[in-house]
A and B are shown apart, each in its own frame.
Chain A
Amino acid sequence: MKRKLMAIIALIAVGTLLFASAPQEASTGEGPVELKFWSLFTGGDGAFFDAMIEEFNASQDEIHMTNDMVKFDDYYTKLTTALAAGNAPDVIVLHQARLINYVPSGVLLPLDEYVSDEMLSDFQTAPLEACRMDGKLYAIPFDVHPIVMYTNTSLLEEAGIDKIPETAEEFTAAAKAVKEATGQWGSLIDNTTGTYKAYTLTRLFVSLVNQQGGSMLTEDMSAAAFNNEYGYNALVWLQSLVNEEAVNPNELDYDAAMNMFKLGEGAFYFNGVWATGTLEQTEGLEFAASPLPAFMGESAAWTDSHTFAIPVQKNQDPAKVEAAIKFIDWMTGNAHLWAKAGNIPTRNSVLEGEEFNALPYRADYAAAVSSVVANPPTAAWGEIYETLSDLLEAAVTKNLDPQTSLDGMEATVNEIISRY
C-alpha cells in the first residue's frame, strides 16, 4: 500500500512538472513567423503604435506581429517576472533609462551580430550609443522624447504677447500677463500625484539644474549633486509659479493639467513630446510646441527614449531573432508614422524624409535633441526619480522652505544610492 501511495504522489509531482514546462512553440517553415510583442503605450500614443503594427503586418507576409498592450504601471513588473521565468515575448520595448536594470543580468540579447552596419549607420549617434554597454549593443532606439513646452497661441494673442518666453523671468511675466488679461491660468505644470506622480516637476527640475551647468548626481553617480545654487534656483522658481506669483494651479495632477490645457484654461503647458499628437486631435485648440526654453542659461531638457530589445530565450530560435530584427528595422525606418504621436525619430533617413518634415513642430524640437539630458546610468535612478517626484511635490504644493527641502532631497537620494 505504501508503495502505491508513493507512486501516486510521484505521478502527481511529475504531472505538475509537465504543466510547469509547456513546450515552446517552434516556428515552422510554413506560413509567416509569428512574433509576440509587449508594449506599454496606453496613452495618446497607443493608437498610433497599434496603427503602425497593423501597417507592418500588412506590408509583408513573412512575419506576423501580435501586440499585447500592458498597462504602463504594471509593464515593468510583468516584464521582469517574465524575463526571470524565461518566457518573455520575442520583442520588447524598454525605456533607455531602464536598460541598466536589465543588461547586467544578461536577459537581453546582444544585437551586434544580427544587425547590419548599413542599418546602424543610419541612426543618430547619441541615442544609439546610449543603448551600448561595455561595447555591446543591447537595444535599438525607436524614438527620443524630451520634455517640451506647449503654448496656447490664442491666449497669448489675447494677452498681447507676441514672443515665446526665453528666460525664467520672461516666462513668469508672460504667465502673469495672461492671467491678468484673460482670467485663465498662466502655466499648467502638474504638481500632485494622481494617476501618475508629479513627474513633470522632476523633469523640469532635472532640466533646470542642467541648464545652469549642474547635474543631478556626481560624475561617479555615488551621491546627489543638486544641493547647491543650481538646485536652489530651480526649486525656488517652480515654487514661485504656484505660490508667490500664483500663475499655476496648486494640487494639479497630470490628467487634470492635460485636460485643462486642452480646454484652453492655461497658456503654457509642459509635457513630453508624446502629448503633441493628442493635442493636435483636440478640436478648437490652437497651440504651438517648442523646445524647452533655456530658462536658466544653456538649453537642456530632460529626455528618455523608447528602445526595442530582444529577450534571451531558453531556446532562442534564430528565425525569430531574424524576424524580430526585420520588425525593428521596419519600425524605426517608418518612424515618421510614430512621429505623428509627437515623438522624434532616430534615423537620419526618416529625419530628412519628406513625410516627417511635413508634420508641424516636430522638425523644430527635433533640432533641440542635441541638448537633451541623458538619464544617469545607475540602477538606483528609477527609485531616485520616483522619490524626487514625491519630495518636489511636497516642496511645491506646500511651499516648504527650499533649502530644507533640498537638504532632505539630498539626504534621501544618498540613502537610496547606498542601498544599490
Chain B
Amino acid sequence: MIPGNRDTRDGILFSLPFMIVFALFMVYPLVFGFYISFFKWNILGTPSFLGIQNYVDIMHDEKFWSSLWHTVQFVLMTTPVLIVMGFLMALLATSHSPLKGVMETVFFIPYILSMTVAATLWAWIMQKDFGIINQVIRLMGGEGVSWLTSEKNAMWSISIATYWWTAGFNMVLYTAGIKQISKEVFESATVDGANALQRIIHITIPLVKPTTILCLILQVIASFNVFGQVYVMTGGGPAGSTRVLIQYIYETGFSYFRMGYSAAMSYILFVIIMAISVIQYITLGRRDS
C-alpha cells in the first residue's frame, strides 16, 4: 500500500461525480416515477392521491392492451430476424473473403445514424406517392404499395427499417464471439473432413451460445422499448394500429399530461421486461452452468 493512500476514501471521491449524476438523473426519477404513479398529476398542478386507481384503470384500458400487443408484435417480428442477420453478417465479416473489411463497415454504418435520421430516411423511401420504392415499382409497371399507410404493412415496414438500422450492432457482438473461438477447433474439424456448413452448425453456433443469449436479452429489451421509429415513420397510425406502449406512455404523459397514469404504465412495462429477461436468462443460461 502506498503511504497516504486510502482506498475507501479515494474510491468514494473518484466515484462521487458519477454517483451524483446517477442519483440525480437515474435513481431520483425512478423513485419519483413510482411515487407519482399513485397520483393524478398534470405537472403544473398539485398531485392528488389515487392509491392504486391508475393501475386498476390500466387493466381496463383497451388502448393499453392494444399498444402492448403492438409492442409484442414488434418484438416477435424483429428479434429472430435481427439475431440471424447479425450472425450471418458476422460470418461474412470473419470469413476469408477479401471484402470482409468492407462488409463489416457497410453492415455497421447504419447503426451510427441517429434514430431520427434512419427513420426519416425510410419514411421517405417508403412514402406511398413519391417514395423511391414505389417509383421503381411504377416504372416497372406495377402498382405502388402503401408501405406505411395500410394496417397490413405498416408494422412490417417499420421492422424492415429497424433491421437495416440495428442489425450491425448484433454483428459486432457476434464477430467478437466468433473471434474468441480458437482456430484449432476449426482446423481439426477441417482435417476430419467437415465442410464449411458443418463447421458453422456444429462448431460456431454452439460455441457462440453465450453471445446469442446476450444478443437475445439485449434485443428483446431494445425491441420492447421501441418508440422512435414508430413515432417518426407512422405516428402510430394508420388508425393507431402501430401505436406501441412507449408511445402511449409518451402521449398520456406529455400530450395529455396525465403523468401518474403514464408513470404507472411505465412501471408495468418495466416489470414485463424484467420478468422476460429473468426467464430468458434462467432458461437459456441453465444448461451452460
Q: B235, A193: Cβ atoms under 8 Å?
A: yes
Is the CB–CB distance between A84 and B239 below 8 Å? no
A9 contact set on B, CB distance < 8 A: 16
Quick one: given A193-B237, A194-B237, A397-B239, are A251 and B42 in contact (CB under 8 Å)? no
Measured CB to CB, the nearest residue on chain A to B256 is A383
> Which of the residues B44, B57, B128, B236 comes within 8 Å of A107, measured between beta carbons?
B44
Asked whether B45 is an interface residue with its Cβ less than 8 Å from the other chain, the reply is yes
Inter-subunit contact B45/A105 (CB<8 Å)? yes
What is the size, in residues, of chain B's interface with A at 8 Å between Cβ atoms? Answer: 36
* Residues of A contacting B240 in the complex (Cβ-Cβ under 8 angstroms): 193, 390, 393-394
Assess A193 versus B129: contact at CB under 8 Å? Given A12-B16, A16-B24, A80-B44.
Answer: no
Residue of A nearest to B234 (CB): A193
Chain A interface bracket (under 10, 10 to 19, 20 to 34, 35 or more) = 35 or more
B143-161 CB contact bits vs A (8 Å, 1 = yes)? 0001011110000000000
Q: Which of A16, A84, A393, A412 contacts B44 (CB 8 A)?
A: A84
What is the bound-complex CA distance between A8 and B255, given in angstroms?
A: 42
In the assembled complex, A294 has its CB within 8 A of some CB on chain B: no
Interface check A320, CB cutoff 8 A: no
A119 beta carbon closer than 8 Å to chain B: no
Give every chain B residue within 8 A of A390 (Cβ-Cβ). 237, 239-240
Q: Mark B219-255, 1 if CB is under 8 A from A, else 0.
A: 0000000000000001111111000000000010011
Q: Which residue of B lies closest to A8 (CB)?
A: B13
Does B257 make an interface contact (CB < 8 A)?
yes
Do A256 and B129 have beta carbons less than 8 Å apart? yes
Interface SS majority for chain B: loop
> A12's contact among B20, B43, B237, by CB below 8 Å, is which?
B20
Given contacts A5-B9, A81-B43, A251-B128, contact A192 B255 (CB under 8 A): no
A76 touches B255 (CB 8 A): yes
* Known pairs A197-B237, A251-B128, A390-B239; A192 contacts B24 (CB<8 A): no
Complex CA gap A353/B168 in Å reads: 62
| Neighbouring A residues of B20 by C-beta, 8 Å | 12, 16
Contact with B along A1-34 (1 / 0, CB 8 A): 1000100110010001000000000000000000
A386 CA / B240 CA spacing, docked (Å): 11
Q: In A372-391, which residues have CB < 8 Å from any B CB?
A: 379, 382-383, 386, 390-391
B238 in complex: contacting residue of A1, A84, A382, A397, CB < 8 Å: A397
User: What residues of A have a CB within 8 angstroms of the CB of B107 in the complex?
Assistant: none
Q: A251 near B146 (CB under 8 angstroms)?
A: yes
> 8 Å CB contacts to A: which residues of B29-75?
42-45, 57, 62
CA distance A393 to B240 in the complex (A): 9
Q: Which residues of A in the span 241-280 have a Cβ within 8 Å of any Cβ on B? A: 251, 253, 256, 259-260
Chain A min CB distance to B52 (Å): 15
Q: Complex formed: what's the CA distance from A83 to B43 in Å?
A: 9
Flag if A80 contacts B13 (CB, 8 Å): no
Determine whether A101 belongs to the interface, using a CB cutoff of 8 Å to chain B: yes
Among A16, A105, A260, point to the contact of B42 (Cβ < 8 A): A105
Task: Say yes or no for A330: interface residue by CB 8 A criterion.
Answer: no
Task: List, in ascending order, chain B residues with CB within 8 A of A196's CB.
Answer: 235
Q: Are B43 and A251 in contact (CB under 8 A)?
A: no
Q: Which of A107, A198, A382 contacts B255 (CB 8 A)?
A: A382
Query: Closest approach, in angstroms, between the C-beta of B185 and any C-beta of chain A?
Result: 53
Q: Does B165 count as interface, using CB distance less than 8 angstroms?
A: no
The contact of A80 among B6, B17, B43, B239, by CB within 8 Å, is B43
Contact B255 A394 (CB under 8 A): no
CB neighbours of A192 from chain B (8 A): 149, 237-239
Of the listed residues B129, B146, B256, B258, the one surrounded by the most CB atoms of chain A closer than 10 A to its CB is: B256
Shortest beta-carbon contacts, A-B, top 6: A193-B237, A105-B44, A394-B239, A251-B149, A393-B239, A77-B254
New contact pairs (8) apart from A105-B42, A193-B238, A259-B130, CB-CB < 8 Å = A80-B43, A80-B254, A105-B45, A192-B239, A259-B129, A260-B129, A383-B256, A393-B240
| B→A interface (CB under 8 Å) | 6, 9, 12-13, 16-17, 20, 24, 42-45, 57, 62, 128-130, 146, 148-151, 234-240, 251, 254-258, 261
30 residue pairs bridging A and B, Cβ less than 8 Å apart: A5-B9, A5-B12, A8-B13, A12-B16, A12-B20, A16-B20, A16-B24, A81-B43, A84-B43, A101-B42, A101-B257, A102-B44, A104-B45, A105-B44, A107-B44, A193-B149, A193-B236, A194-B148, A194-B149, A194-B237, A195-B235, A196-B235, A198-B237, A251-B150, A259-B129, A260-B129, A379-B42, A397-B239, A398-B151, A419-B57
